[in-house]
Amino acid sequence: MPRRCSKRADKEEKVVKPRFLKARLSEDDHRQMHRIAAERGIKISRLTRTILQAHLKGIPVRLPHPHGITDELVHQLARIGNNLNQLAHQANIGYVAVPMQEIRSCIDAINQKVAQL
């Protein structure tokens, strides 16, 4: 019988990491690494490992956003923007009569929400 999916199953499998790497940093670099890790809500070891792996693979570093913005949230914002563009297009061609004051109040409300992120 197939197993049910759970949020725990979606997480990455724990991989044993048997090798240890030690490096020396200046006080400023060390302080900055700890600040970045704290801002992004991850441990310093994960930050270091992520940066090093990205460098070795020659790809940009993908770290959690400092304000908790996820790829899913960006996708949802893009969908909202797409819907707004469709509404604006329909209003511009006269298909839907929307008062300018209502459009501006909607845009202001969206800008306020985005600023809170």
Which of 8, 13, 51, 62 lies closest to 29 in space, CA to CA?
Answer: 51
Greatest extent of the chain over all pairs of C-alpha atoms, in Å: 66
pTM: 0.49
Question: What are the φ/ψ torsions at residue 65 (nearest 5 degrees)?
Answer: -65, 140
Q: Mean per-residue pLDDT for 16-39?
A: 91
Q: 94: alpha, beta or left, given left = phi > 0 and alpha = psi -120 to 50?
A: left
Q: Where are the domains of the chain?
A: 19-67, 71-116
What pLDDT band is residue 101 in, cutting at 50, 70 and 90? confident
Whole-angstrom distance, CA of residue 64 vs CA of residue 38: 11
Q: Which residue has the tokens 């570093």?
A: 61
Q: Mean per-residue pLDDT for 36-44?
A: 88
Whether the pLDDT of residue 12 is over 60: the answer is no
Whether the pLDDT of residue 24 is over 90: the answer is yes
Task: Give the contacts of 17 (CB within 8 A, at least 6 positions apart).
Answer: 49
Question: Residue 109 has which token pair?
Answer: 């409300």
Question: Residue 65 has which token pair?
Answer: 């956003």
Show the DSSP H helices in 1-117 as ranges.
Answer: 7-10, 27-40, 44-57, 71-92, 100-116
